[in-house]
Amino acid sequence: MTKDVGIVYHPDYLKHKTQPGHPERSERLQAIVDTLKRKGLLLHLKELCPKPAELQWVTSIHDSHYVERVREMCHRGYLQIDGSDTHICEDSYQIALLAVGGGIIAADAVCENAICRAFCCVRPPGHHAERSYASGFCLFNNIAILARYLQQKHGIKRV
Which residues are designated catalytic?
128
Give CA–CA dist 105/109, Å, rounded: 6
Give the sheet arrangement for strand 46-48, strand by strand: 46-48, 5-8, 117-120
| Cα–Cα distances in angstroms (integers) from residue 33 to residues 6, 91, 110, 116, 122, in the given order | 13, 21, 21, 21, 11
Give CA–CA dist 118/98, Å, rounded: 16
Of 30, 145, 40, residue with least CA distance to 99: 145
